[in-house]
Structure formats: structure tokens, C-alpha cells
Amino acid sequence: MNDPISKVESFVRALEENLLPEQQYYSQNYENNVLSLPPFFHGSYTQALYMAINRGKFLYVYLTNPSNESSSSIFDRIITNPKFISIFTTENRNNQNIIWGGDLTNLEAYQLANSLNVTKFPFLGLLCLTRTSTMTPQGPSKTPPKISLILKIQGGISDDQDPNKVIQSKFIKRTLKYEPELSLIRAELKEKYMAELVRKQQNADYQQSLLKDKQKKAQKERKKLAADYLRWKQLHIQKLRLQQADRQHMAKIAIKMAGGNRETFYFPEDSPIEDIYLYVELHQKSLIDEEANFTATGREAEKFKDFEYPYQFRLVSPVPPLPLLNDYDKSTKVKDVSFIYPSGLLMVERL
């Protein structure tokens, strides 16, 4: 079971089994608003520590050793004590206090016990961010906050100790001592977080602006490339117009333009069907009769290799089942399309 949430849930279930019958009843009937255990953090210790460090919370840790429990007094008299539980449930405290627990079968709990030099179990410790002030030539300066163990109880408490007084004098009093400085640290963390949030938003806005500029530039370049491509092909179509008198090995194609006018053009049978698209596009842009003056060297023409012109129309045959020329690759030869060879009718439909 490597899931940290499952480990915590298993740990809490084991604690619930040690509750008195009356406590177990309340634990299973949440509508009574009576908790028999503190609300243990459902996650890994690493996640709980992150909350303590990055949100300035008090972190309680409860560690047990199932094979060597020298005393159950911490559990019976502190952990299940309503006064201790209220630390996590009282409205003005519950947002700043979290508790995490585990036994030594949990690797994180084992490593934590070693790092805190735990010598007896069960162990109840309190950690929070602390810092000190040092004098510098410029005046007092505070050290960076670091997580520190500010209180611990291990092994148990003696029978003559009042658990309520222990909770008050140790845990509540200790949190009140560290709360003012921790409150300042929280404010600094929040300010740092908000500044980072603003920085990230500004960076995101900047990146978005760069992206828009890049997209505009790319769109402008595509538009120019399309215009150059059409001008480049214009001469080719105009050369085909000079061959209209030669009807051999030609396909006679009537084209009903989107504006309603009808044009008839003879295309060589070995021409790619894109020539039909080019013819229509030149008509729509009133370039069919305009003198072709765009020239490109072989190297310049390389930019048109694999370029697909964005035709904004489709060519439909009125003959059932109304086949679309758009369903064919534009490199397909005219003679290989049955509904336009040796003759056919196409209608232009704008997209």
C-alpha cells in the first residue's frame, strides 16, 4: 500500500479501534458534531510539510510504533482530549493548525522519527516556521524562516499530570508564543505568492501577446504566399487559354460560377485537377484576364513546393449522386475523374 492517503486512512482506522466504545459511537455518527479524534491530514507528510512551510501553518505530528508502545497515555489523555481536538476545530484556529500521523511501518513516519531524534513512542511534536533576528551594520536583520520542532512529548505523560493543563501550558501557550512571528511570515508568504502570481500573469500575458504577434505574422506570410502562388500559377492558366483551339486530348468542362455566370474551359487530360480550382479562383479574383507579370526563379519557386492553396469553395457535379471534386487529391489527373472527363459540369459553392 504505497498510496499516502490510504496509509493515513489505515493509520486513523487503527487509532479508532483503540477508542472507547462511547468514543467509537461518536466517531461513527458525525451528525453529533463530536469528534473523537483530531482531523488528521489526508496526504503524505511531504504534503503536510509543504502546507506548513508555504502557508505558515502549525504542524502537529503524531508517530507511533505498533510493536513497542511503552504507553498509551498520549493517545488516551491528549490525542482524544476534546481540548486538544478543539485546537483543530475552533474557528479562529482550524485554518492554521494541521495534524499528520503515521506509524513506523510507514516509511515517511520512520524517516521523520529519525530526523526528529525520537527516542520513545508514541511521539507528539509541534513544528512551525521560525527565524531569529541578528544585528548587522545596517540594523537588525531576520534570518530566512526554517521549519523547527518547537515542542515534543514522547513516551507518555505521568498519571499525576492534568492533561488539560498539559495541553494549555504546552501546546496552546507555545502556539500563542510563536503566532505573532508566524503571522508576519504568513503575510510575507502571501505577499510573495501574490507577487509571483502577478509575475506569472504578466509573463503569461506577454507570452500570449508574443503568440498573437507570431500568429499575425504567420497569417500575413501565409496570405502573401497564397497571393504569390496564385500569381505564379496565373501564367500557367493563361497558357492553357491559348490552347483552347486544340480539342484533342482535352476535357470540356462547363463551370457555373458562384455569381451565376457559366464558363467553359478545355483542360488537358493529363492536367492535375488543381488547374480547375486555379481557373475558378482567378475568375473569382478577376485575375483571369489580367496580364501575368509574376516571375520566380527555380530557387524562389521552391517555397511553393508542397504548398496547398486555401480554396474557399467546393466543386460539385449536378449529376447524381452529386460527387464532389474536393474528395479527390488535387494532383489527380483530369482524365481519371469520370464525371468531368471527357466532359462535365461543375458548380461552384462557396464555403
Mean pLDDT of 75-85: 93
Task: Looking at 96-172, list the stretches that DSSP marks H as alpha helix, in order from N- to C-terminal side.
Answer: 107-115, 163-166
**pLDDT at 255 (0 to 100):** 97
**pLDDT at 25 (0 to 100):** 47
Bridge partner residues of 149 (DSSP): 127
Domain ranges (residues) in the chain: 4-161, 230-350
Q: Is the peptide bond before 321 cis (omega within 30 degrees of 0)?
A: yes
Share of the chain above pLDDT 70, in %: 93
DSSP state of 76: I
Measured between alpha carbons, how far is 230 from 308 in angstroms, rounded to an integer?
A: 11
Mean pLDDT of 110-130: 95
Least confident among 23-27, 139-143, 192-196, 321-325: 23-27
Measured between alpha carbons, how far is 145 from 57 in angstroms, rounded to an integer?
A: 13
Mean pLDDT, the chain, as a whole number? 89
Give residue-wise pLDDT tens across range 246-270: 888 999 999 999 989 999 999 999 9
Q: Fold for 230-350, please state it.
A: Ubiquitin-like (UB roll) (3.10.20)
**pLDDT at 338 (0 to 100):** 94
Q: Fold for 4-161, please state it.
A: Glutaredoxin (3.40.30)
Give residue-wise pLDDT tens across range 187-223: 999 999 999 999 999 999 999 999 999 999 999 999 9
Mean pLDDT of 46-63: 96
**pLDDT at 290 (0 to 100):** 86
**pLDDT at 34 (0 to 100):** 55
Whether residue 22 is predicted with pLDDT greater than 70 in this model: the reply is no
Least confident among 109-123, 128-142, 156-170, 245-259: 128-142
**pLDDT at 280 (0 to 100):** 97
The model's pTM: 0.64
Long-range contacts of 314-319 (CB under 8 A, 24+ apart): 314/348, 314/349, 314/351, 315/255, 315/276, 315/277, 315/280, 315/346, 315/347, 315/348, 315/349, 316/346, 316/347, 316/349, 317/344, 317/345, 317/346, 317/347, 318/345, 318/347, 319/344, 319/345
Mean pLDDT of 11-28: 69
Measured between alpha carbons, how far is 182 from 145 in angstroms, rounded to an integer?
A: 9
**pLDDT at 218 (0 to 100):** 94
Whether residue 172 is predicted with pLDDT greater than 80 in this model: the reply is yes
Bridge partner residues of 251 (DSSP): 267
Give residue-wise pLDDT tens across range 129-144: 999 888 778 878 888 9
Identical topology for domains 4-161 and 230-350: no
Name the residue with cell 482535352: 250
Nearest 10 degrees: Cα torsion 220, 226, 227, 231: 160
